[in-house]
Amino acid sequence: MRGLTTDMTRRDLRPYFLWDEDVSIGELEQTLASPDSPRRDELLGKMLREARDIDVWRFVRPVEVAGALERLRRAMVRRYAFWSFLIEGWRRHGLLGT
């Protein structure tokens, strides 16, 4: 298995939040950029559950998180409340579309 890293520029290593599977940062970027990938929701859900919020924005845009929020609710477990609070606050302040 590849080593873990907190340096999101190290495309050959695994991001710290995918501690349970051997997926490199480069592979994660590629999967998340492909809307048709069967693994996209699985990896996005893991990232939203395990990653620091500041690291999430390196891979996806807030509008993508907003669009996936309800669909990935079960995958996020305890972090759903955080993401929901964040996205809904941005919507109320006009930072995201309705």
Q: What is the pLDDT of residues 45-76, one digit of tens each?
A: 999 999 999 999 999 999 999 999 999 999 99
Token pair for 56:
């999430």
pLDDT at 83: 97
Nearest-angstrom CA–CA distance, 78 and 49: 8
Residue type, 45: G
Nearest-angstrom CA–CA distance, 25 and 15: 6
pTM for the whole structure: 0.92
pLDDT tens-place string over residues 5-30: 999 999 999 999 999 999 999 999 99
Of the candidates 97, 81, 82, 27, the residue with the CA atom closest to the CA atom of residue 59: 27
